């Protein structure tokens, strides 16, 4: 089978597109023929070996725990281990494999059955691959922030993978949404329903005088004092990605800062696949859909990661491993 092999930390050019042996499932695993996978920031960071915690988890000097990146996948089960009870050959599945073996940038992979769920019939493989990690970072972050109707919500990084979902979810819940991103992504942010779109290259939202009930941050580009200033009294700041230094400071100082200021400052600890049923419900109601503006064949994974790292990706970048057309394919925006 063809796969994009990850054998050393570095840049996208260090990845190898080559032929490897097809894996065989262990007792608790299913063998999945991958139809689509998607790019996440975790893929790009792990490729670089940053932050250092990634090296502690995956191999200090080179990756030893996985041999292929790609944790969000969708595909068809072709074989099952003898203790598998959830799936059978022919089932169409999807999920986030970041808690296990990754391996989505390949024609086949093995995954623990607990990391997968049945793909909804009305969802294409590309759509399904674009959902798990990004949509759930948005969903879990907004829920942690106490999202409800009538709030003023700001999404920092609104044109990226998590951000495009967060704008849609907050809008569907009745919030007034402000999206912050680069100039090239603002049209998409407005299209998704943001009432206000802020170009961070021209305006610093933390100094514009506006105050928000909830800020969900995928970038962590400002000081904690700046985020506090942009919150209303009793407001909540949730960081879900970006600067590891700021995230670590917030983990240490968040409880104290929250008590002192009366504004909640917290870090989202992502839980893989928790909440996918809720996203499926929103998808079926046409309230949330993946924004897939970039598609690449499996051989172009290095280019996809390079584009992601350069900030050229709007919404989600999807790797089309196997061409297919499913009911509901036209729902891709």
CATH (domain of 141): 3.40.50.720
| Residue entry with tokens 């019939």 | 121
- 28 found inside a domain: yes
46 plus 124 within the same structural domain: yes
Q: Which residue has the higher pLDDT, 68 or 243?
A: 68
98 plus 66 within the same structural domain: yes
82 plus 167 within the same structural domain: no
**What is the per-residue pLDDT for 20?**
97
pLDDT tens sequence across 257-309: 888 889 999 999 999 999 999 999 999 999 999 999 999 999 999 999 999 99
**What is the per-residue pLDDT for 56?**
86
Please tell me the distance from the alpha carbon of residue 307 to that of residue 302, in angstroms, as a whole number. Answer: 9
How many domains would you assign to the chain? 2
183 plus 141 within the same structural domain: yes
pLDDT tens sequence across 44-101: 999 999 888 889 889 999 999 999 999 999 999 999 999 999 999 999 999 999 998 8
Q: Would you say how long the chain is, in residues?
A: 333
- 187 found inside a domain: yes
- 286 found inside a domain: no
102 plus 147 within the same structural domain: no
Predicted TM-score (pTM) of the model is 0.93
299 plus 259 within the same structural domain: no
pLDDT tens sequence across 319-330: 999 976 444 333
Long-range CB pairs of 55-62 (<8 Å, 24+ gap) are 55/9, 62/7, 62/8, 62/9
Instruction: For residue 52, give its domain range.
Output: 2-131+291-331
Residue 23: pLDDT band with limits 50, 70, 90: very high
Q: Are 265 and 254 in contact (CB under 8 A)?
A: yes
């Amino acid at each position: 089978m063809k796969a994009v092999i990850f054998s050393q930390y570095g840049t996208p050019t260090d990845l190898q597109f080559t032929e490897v042996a097809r894996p065989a499932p262990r007792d608790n695993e299913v063998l999945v023929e991958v139809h689509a996978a998607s790019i996440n920031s975790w893929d790009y960071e792990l490729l670089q070996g940053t932050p250092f915690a990634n090296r502690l988890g995956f191999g200090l000097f080179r990756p030893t725990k996985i041999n292929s990146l790609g944790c969000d996948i969708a595909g068809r089960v072709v074989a099952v281990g003898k203790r598998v009870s959830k799936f059978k050959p022919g089932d169409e599945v999807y999920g986030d494999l970041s808690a296990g073996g990754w391996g989505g940038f390949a024609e086949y992979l093995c995954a623990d059955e607990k990391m997968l769920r049945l793909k909804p019939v009305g969802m294409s493989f590309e759509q399904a691959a674009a959902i798990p990690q990004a949509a759930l970072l948005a969903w879990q972050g907004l829920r942690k922030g106490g999202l409800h109707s009538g709030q003023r919500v700001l999404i920092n990084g609104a044109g990226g993978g998590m951000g495009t979902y967060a704008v849609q979810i907050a809008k569907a819940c009745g919030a007034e949404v402000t999206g912050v991103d680069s100039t090239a992504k603002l049209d998409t942010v407005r299209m998704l329903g943001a009432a206000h779109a802020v170009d961070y290259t021209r305006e610093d939202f933390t100094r514009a005088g506006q105050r928000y009930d909830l800020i969900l941050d995928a970038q962590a580009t400002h000081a904690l004092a700046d985020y506090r200033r942009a919150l209303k009294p009793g407001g909540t700041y949730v960081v879900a990605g970006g600067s590891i230094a700021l995230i670590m400071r917030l983990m240490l100082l968040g409880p104290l800062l929250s008590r002192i200021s009366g504004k909640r400052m917290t870090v989202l600890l992502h839980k893989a696949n928790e909440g996918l049923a809720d996203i499926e419900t929103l998808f079926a109601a046409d309230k949330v859909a993946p924004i897939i503006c970039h598609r690449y064949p499996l051989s172009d994974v290095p280019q996809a990661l390079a584009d992601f790292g350069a900030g050229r990706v709007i919404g989600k970048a999807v790797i089309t491993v196997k061409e297919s057309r499913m009911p509901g394919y036209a729902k891709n925006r």
